């Protein structure tokens, strides 16, 4: 067999990506394994899966170093056969070294590292190194492999290991996972490609390029300094032999598991959403069984981080202990499908907007952003003019990412026009998006306020997935009639900007208090915000009678999920209540997401800086001043407008005649005095101030 052709220059990433790999996946039959000579692999200690109910990887896996890999022949997606012993280097000679990489078409890390392997092949091809990849996933069809190769511009053969025989013989567990073989097909390096990407974490650059270092050392006839590393990624989707369900209580896909996934998972794990694979189809789901088991055991999925001891939340996504036990029992039984007659009806999802009706206005980012194929992307900000010539009350808002598979989260912020009162419209935060977020309108009579002339700021966080993407995100609003509003929804916060986390500190603590308020409020929800060194976050109410109550505890904060916690029922916060937030940070080397544990970390927008913000939504009765805010929102009733007007007159009325003369106000207030003096008689009355406030509120 002729060796595969090497490309002369670094492969360029395609300029666009037509949907995610999980879209419209056919389940074509896998190519046949033409020949697999196992030789002495088993005798030499290479692991073979013997129990379908358990992952092959053990607590102390056998070392692969020094083991000889038996020859094999496999086909690529076009039916072309490649034999390991016949691979050639760029010069047509038998290679000095061969890199065997196990890849999958949907695993996020396999997507990120596919182009990197091509880059490494370009670098080492002329030095006598051959590259070949194997796909042993039962859920990946030939069409899926062909699309993966095309979209990621993979420049070396990607072969189908049908039945995962080679993966079993070599002891491969995950994708991506690499083996470096010498000329005698003996394993000299095994593990990860580098340390830039891991599950839930990414460095700006790799701190150790393990595969490249191993190749360099072997080509220089040196021993490999670190010959084995732990590969991070998804479990290989092995072929399983389900046990026959013979008892009524047997757990199968059709009678129980699909219902658990419908309840907790398929909001994200379906075609077109951000999750890397779908859980709506049995044949797709069983290939991810071990990855699913690992994720739910470690409580990584579903993404819900609140301690169940405190608070009840309407958007809770936590799996119960009984549900986790069902999943484990199903996998231990070999993932039986069961009787199709037991299947529930497929869930129906709203196409387009989740709002309960069409949006009244849609505002998009003012320019497209090109998301690179890999690396890390700093926060991006896009400012959009609302064009609102009058104040708008928002009963519901929905943020839609333009490229869902690379948008980590979106925050839409209000920037009031120059001269508008600070904090107008609920402060800076208006609406947000995180994957799987469900859009709900505010309760009847409640709405947020966007003052006229405001601009919106889209704060965008992107996570590259291996292919270039173009994003134009947008937000849609449904308006409320001002006459129907009894409460304004305000996003307040407990904020601590004095941050100086010492190098190496694994448990640095900060606290912050919200400002108190003069009237009873209704607490609607909370959203903690830190960056990649964030470790834990807690909210505690300090009531005026001295009592304290933990409202929310997030013991394992995860920057990858900017989760808002919506209370199942609004909680009354008596006048004088303050909210204390406590945050802990890990700036040590043990934090895999830490970009640099040697630096003192201070406040800043970017992920390598830190923040401590305890956002919380409260409903404020109209006419009352929101906590820590100026009175801009407290003007929506006649009684409130009169009260405010009387306060202003009292402040400047030096001669106590019940009105304000021009010579009674300081020069800095003179422009405002001129605007309020409607009849231009040189004095401002309570009635004139009330009319001005009414015009401001109604946008007239």
The model's pLDDT over 289-322, given as tens digits with 9 standing for 90+, comes to: 888 888 888 888 888 899 999 999 988 888 888 9
Least confident interval from 45-59, 287-301, 649-663:
45-59
What are the structure tokens assigned to 265, written together? 């998972």
Q: Alpha helix (H) ranges present in 563-685?
A: 638-652, 670-676
Q: Percent of the chain, pLDDT > 70?
A: 84
Q: Tell whether the model's pLDDT for residue 614 goes beyond 90.
A: yes
Question: pLDDT per residue over 621-631, tens digit each?
Answer: 876 655 654 44
pLDDT reading at 49 higher than 60: no
Q: What SS3 state is found at 563?
A: coil
pLDDT at 80 over 90: yes
According to DSSP, the residues that pair with 178 across neighbouring strands are 101, 191
pLDDT at 549: 97
User: What pLDDT digit, counting tens, does each position of 361-401 carry?
Assistant: 999 999 999 999 887 788 888 999 999 999 999 999 999 99
Where does the pLDDT of residue 71 fall: very low under 50, low under 70, confident under 90, or very high at 90 and above? very high
Average pLDDT of the segment spanning 333-338: 89
CA neighbor of 69 nearest in space, from 187, 158, 159: 187
pLDDT at position 87 over 50: yes
Q: Residue 626's pLDDT is what?
A: 58
Angle, helices 686-698 vs 638-652, to 10°: value is 130
Interatomic CA distance for residues 247 and 255, integer angstroms:
12
Q: Is the confidence at residue 38, as pLDDT, over 50?
A: no
Looking at residue 28, its pLDDT comes to 31
> Phi/psi of residue 380, each to 5°?
-120, 145
The pLDDT of residue 245 is: 64
Question: How far is Cα 119 from Cα 113, in angstroms, rounded to an integer?
Answer: 10
Does pLDDT of 44 surpass 60?
no
* Predicted pLDDT at 48: 30
Give residue 639's pLDDT.
Answer: 65
Per-residue pLDDT, 618: 94
pLDDT digits (tens, 9 = 90+) for 543-589: 999 999 999 999 999 887 778 899 999 999 999 999 999 999 999 99
- pLDDT greater than 50 at residue 30: no
Mean pLDDT of 247-268: 87
Is the pLDDT at 418 greater than 70? The verdict is no
For the stretch 1-13, pLDDT in tens is 333 323 222 222 2
State the Cα–Cα distance between residues 210 and 514, nearest whole angstrom.
47
C-alpha 451/C-alpha 415 separation (Å) is: 9
Q: How many residues does the chain have?
A: 700
This prediction has a pTM of 0.65
Residue 50 has pLDDT above 80, yes or no: no
Average pLDDT over residues 495-517: 94
- pLDDT score at 677: 84
**Alpha carbon distances (Å) from 10 to 107, 115, 117, 127, 371:** 23, 10, 11, 16, 19
Residue 344 has pLDDT above 70, yes or no: yes
pLDDT tens-digit readout, 264-296:
888 888 887 767 788 888 888 888 888 888 888
Q: Is the pLDDT score of 35 beyond 50? A: no
A 10 A CB-CB count for 126 gives 12
> For residue range 175-185, what is the model confidence (pLDDT) as tens digits?
999 999 999 99
Q: How would you write 149-185 as a 3-class SS string?
A: HHHHCCCCCEEECHHHHHHHHHCCCEECEEEEECCCC
- At 218-246, the pLDDT tens digits run 999 999 999 999 999 999 999 888 777 66
Q: What is the pLDDT of residue 633?
A: 43
pLDDT for residue 24 is more than 50: no
581 vs 519, more confident? 581
For 431-476, how does the pLDDT look when each residue is reduced to its tens digit (9 = 90+)?
988 766 778 888 899 999 998 889 999 989 888 877 899 999 999 9
Contact 621, 486 (CB under 8 A): yes
**Average model confidence (pLDDT) for the chain?**
83
């Amino acid at each position: 067999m002729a060796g595969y052709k090497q490309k002369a220059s670094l492969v360029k990433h395609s300029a666009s990506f037509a949907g995610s790999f999980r879209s419209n996946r056919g389940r074509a039959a896998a190519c046949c394994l033409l020949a697999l000579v196992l030789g002495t692999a088993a005798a030499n200690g290479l692991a073979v899966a013997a129990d379908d109910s358990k992952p092959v990887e053990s607590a102390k896996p056998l070392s692969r170093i020094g083991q000889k890999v038996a020859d094999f022949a496999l086909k690529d997606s076009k039916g072309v056969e490649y034999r390991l012993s016949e691979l050639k280097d760029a010069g047509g000679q038998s290679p000095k070294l061969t890199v065997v990489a196990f890849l999958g078409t949907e695993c996020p890390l396999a997507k990120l590292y596919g182009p990197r392997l091509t880059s490494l092949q370009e670098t080492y091809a002329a030095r006598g190194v051959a590259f070949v990849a194997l796909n042993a996933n039962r859920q990946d069809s030939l069409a899926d492999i062909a699309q993966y190769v095309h979209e990621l511009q993979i420049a070396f053969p990607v072969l189908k290991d049908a039945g995962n025989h080679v993966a079993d013989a070599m002891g491969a567990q995950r994708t991506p996972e690499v083996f470096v073989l010498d000329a005698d097909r003996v394993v000299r390096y095994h593990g990860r490609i580098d340390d830039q990407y891991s599950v839930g974490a990414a460095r700006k650059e790799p701190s150790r390029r393990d595969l490249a270092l191993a190749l360099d050392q072997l080509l220089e006839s040196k021993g490999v300094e670190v010959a084995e590393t732990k590969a991070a990624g998804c479990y290989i989707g092995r072929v399983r032999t389900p046990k026959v369900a013979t008892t009524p209580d047997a757990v199968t896909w059709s009678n129980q598991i699909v219902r658990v996934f419908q309840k907790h998972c398929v909001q994200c794990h379906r075609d077109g959403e951000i999750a890397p694979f779908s859980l709506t189809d049995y044949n797709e789901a069983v290939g991810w069984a071990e990855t699913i088991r690992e994720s739910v055991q470690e409580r990584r999925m579903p993404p819900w981080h609140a301690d169940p001891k405190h608070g009840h939340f309407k958007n809770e996504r936590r799996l119960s202990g009984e549900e986790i036990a069902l999943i484990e029992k199903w996998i231990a039984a070999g993932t039986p499908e069961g009787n199709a007659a037991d299947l529930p009806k497929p869930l129906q999802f709203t196409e387009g907007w989740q709002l309960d009706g069409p949006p009244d206005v849609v505002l998009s980012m003012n320019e497209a952003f090109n998301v690179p194929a890999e690396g890390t992307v700093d926060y991006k900000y896009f400012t959009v003019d609302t064009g609102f010539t009058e104040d708008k009350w928002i009963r519901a808002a929905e943020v839609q990412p333009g490229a869902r598979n690379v948008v980590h989260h979106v925050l839409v912020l209000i920037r009031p026009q120059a001269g508008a009162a600070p904090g107008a419209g609920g402060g800076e935060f208006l609406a947000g998006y995180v994957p799987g977020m469900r859009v709900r309108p505010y309760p009847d009579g409640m709405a947020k306020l966007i003052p006229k002339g405001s601009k919106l700021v889209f704060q965008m966080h992107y996570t590259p997935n291996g292919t270039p993407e173009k994003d134009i995100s947008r937000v849609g609003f449904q308006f409320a009639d001002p006459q129907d509003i009894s409460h304004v929804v305000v996003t307040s916060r407990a904020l601590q900007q004095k941050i100086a986390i010492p190098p190496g500190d694994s448990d640095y603590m900060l606290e912050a208090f919200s400002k108190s308020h003069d009237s009873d409020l209704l607490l609607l929800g909370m959203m903690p915000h830190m960056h990649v060194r964030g470790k834990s976050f807690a909210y505690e109410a300090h009531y005026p009678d001295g009592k304290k109550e933990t409202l929310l505890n997030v013991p394992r904060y995860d920057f990858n999920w900017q989760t808002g916690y919506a209370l199942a029922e609004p909680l009354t916060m008596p006048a004088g209540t303050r909210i204390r937030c406590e945050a802990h940070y890990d700036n040590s080397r043990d934090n895999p997401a830490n970009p640099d544990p040697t630096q003192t970390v201070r406040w800043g927008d970017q992920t390598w800086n830190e923040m401590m913000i305890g956002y919380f939504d409260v409903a404020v009765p109209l006419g009352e001043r929101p906590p820590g805010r100026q009175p801009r929102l407290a003007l929506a009733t006649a009684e409130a407008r009169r009260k405010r007007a009387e306060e202003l007159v009292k402040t400047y009325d030096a001669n106590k005649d019940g009105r304000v003369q021009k010579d009674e106000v300081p020069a800095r207030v003179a422009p405002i005095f001129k605007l309020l003096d409607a009849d231009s008689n040189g004095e401002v009355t309570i009635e004139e101030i009330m009319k001005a406030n009414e015009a401001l509120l109604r946008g007239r």
